[in-house]
Structure 1
Amino acid sequence: EGDMSLSIDDLVHIVRDQLPPHFPPQPVKAKRQKVRYCDTNYVLLIAIIEAVTGQPLHQVHEELLFRPLDLRHTWLAGHSRPLEPTPKPAMLWVDSEPVEIPLMMRSFWGVYSTTEDTLSFLHALIRGEVFDDPATLSLMQQRWNRFTFPLDKAALRAPGWLIEYALGMIRFRLPRALTSLHPMPAVFGHTGSTGTWLFHCPELDVLLSGTVDQATAGAIPYRLVPKILRAVDSAAR
Structure 2
Amino acid sequence: MPANSSNQKVSERLKNKILKDFVKRSRSNKTNNTAILLVHSPSLGIHWKTAANPDSNVIVNPDQPFHFASIGKTVTSVIISILFEKGLIDFEDKISKYLEDSILKGLHIYKGTEYSNDLKIKNLLNHTSGLPDYYTDKNKSGVRLLDLMISEPERFWTPIETINWAKQQLNAKFKPGKGFHYSDTNYELLGLIIENITGKTLSECLHEYIFEPLGMQHTFQIFHSEPALKSNFPMVDLYYKGVNLSKAKSISMSCASGGIVSTTEDMLKFHKAIVKHRIIRKETFEKMCDYAKMGPGIYYGYGIMNFRFMFMPEKYHIWGNSGSIGAFMYYNHAMDIYIIGSFHKLNYQVQPIFYIVNLLRKFNREIKK
TM-score (norm 2): 0.54
What is the match of residue 212 of structure 1? Answer: 343
Deviation at 1:62, TM superposition (A): 0.8
Which SS does the other structure have where 2:319 is aligned?
strand
> Between Structure 1 and Structure 2, how many residues are aligned?
213
Deviation at 1:70, TM superposition (A): 0.4
Q: Is the 8 A contact 2:318 2:332 kept in 1?
A: yes
CA distance in 2, matches of 1:100, 1:89: 8
**What are the within-5 Å matches in structure 2 for residues 30-179 of structure 1?**
33-86=178-231, 87-94=233-240, 98-109=244-255, 110-131=259-280, 133-141=281-289, 143-147=290-294, 160-176=295-311, 179=312
Instruction: Give the CA RMSD over aligned residues.
Output: 1.9
Higher normalized contact order (CA 8 Å, seq sep 6+, divided by chain length): 2
Q: Is the 8 A contact 2:218 2:230 kept in 1?
A: yes
Instruction: Report which of the two structures shows the higher radius of gyration computed on alpha carbons.
Output: 2
Deviation at 1:104, TM superposition (A): 2.3
Deviation at 1:95, TM superposition (A): 6.0
* Deviation by residue 1:81-127 (Cα, 9 ceiling, x = unmatched): 11112122101132676434532233422111111111111001111
Which portions of structure 1, spanning 4 or more consecutive aligned residues, are displaced by more than 3 angstroms?
Answer: 95-102
Change (3 A) 1:95 1:228: farther
Which SS does the other structure have where 2:299 is aligned?
strand
CA distance in 1, matches of 2:167, 2:364: 45
Deviation at 1:10, TM superposition (A): 1.0
Identity of aligned residues (%): 24
Deviation at 1:2, TM superposition (A): 1.4
CA distance in 1, matches of 2:162, 2:359: 37
TM-score (norm 1): 0.83
CA distance in 2, matches of 1:173, 1:99: 33
Which SS does the other structure have where 1:135 is aligned?
helix
Q: Is the 8 A contact 1:184 1:230 kept in 2?
A: no
